[in-house]
Structure 1
Amino acid sequence: MTNRRESESVLNKLLVQLFRDILDIEEKCLQNSEFSDLSVTEIHVIEAISIDKERTMSEVAYDLSITVGTLTTAINKLIKKGYVDRRRIEEDRRVVLITLTEKGKEVYKFHEEFHNDMIKYTIDSFSIEEETVLVSALKKISGFFEEKYHLIK
Structure 2
Amino acid sequence: MESTNLLQVYKIIEKIRSENGRHGSREQEWIEERLIDDNLQKAVAKLSIVALHILSALETKSKTGVELATELQVTRGGITRAAKKLLQFELITAKKAPNDKKKIYYALTSNGKVVAKLHDEMHQEIITEIEEKFSDKYSENELKTIIRFLHDLREFEDNFS
Superposition TM-score tier, normalisation by shorter sequence: 0.5 to 0.7
Aligned to 1:87: 95
Give the SS at the match of 1:65.
coil
Mean CA deviation greater in 92-101 or 141-150 = 141-150
1:40 positional shift: 3.8
Question: Following TM superposition, by how much is the alpha carbon of 1:140 offset from its aligned partner in structure 2, in angstroms?
Answer: 1.4
Q: Which structure has the greater CA radius of gyration?
A: 1
- In the alignment, does 2:75 pair up with 1:75? no
User: Residues 126 and 78 of structure 1: is their aligned pair in 2 closer, same or farther, counting only changes over 3 Å?
Assistant: closer
Distance 1:125 1:65 in 2: 30
Q: CA distance change for structure 1 residues 129 and 29 in 2, over 3 Å: closer, same or farther?
A: closer
Structural mapping, 1:3-22, within 5 Å:
19=17
RMSD: 3.3
Are 2:53 and 1:52 equivalent residues in the alignment?
A: no
Match of 2:24 in 1: 23
- Alpha carbons of 1:56 and 1:30: their partners in 2 closer, same or farther (altered >3 Å)? same
Q: 1:145 to 1:126 in 2, by over 3 A?
A: closer
Secondary structure at the aligned position of 1:85 is classed as strand
Secondary structure in structure 2 of the residue aligned to 1:32: helix
Matched with 2:52 is 43
1:141 aligns with 149
SS of 1:130's partner is coil
Count of residues in correspondence between the two structures: 133
Structure 1: which 5+ runs fail to align? 1-14
C-alpha change, 1:125 and 1:29, in structure 2 (3 Å) is closer
Measure the CA separation in 1 of the matches of 2:154 and 2:74: 13
Residue 128 of structure 2 is matched in structure 1 by 120
Contact 1:26 / 1:40 at 8 angstroms: preserved in 2?
no
SS in 2 for 1:53: coil
State the one-letter code of the partner of 1:116: Q
Residues 139 and 40 from structure 1, CA distance in 2 versus in 1: closer, same or farther, beyond 3 angstroms? Answer: same
Distance 1:73 1:126 in 2: 36
Contact 1:43–1:108 (8 Å) recurs in 2: yes
Shift, 1:125, TM fit = 4.5
Find the counterpart in structure 2 of residue 33 from structure 1: 34
Q: Percent identity?
A: 18
Q: TM-score, normalised by structure 2?
A: 0.63
Q: Distance in 1 between matches of 2:152 and 2:62?
A: 32
Distance 1:33 1:40 in 2: 18
More deviation, 87-96/75-84: 75-84
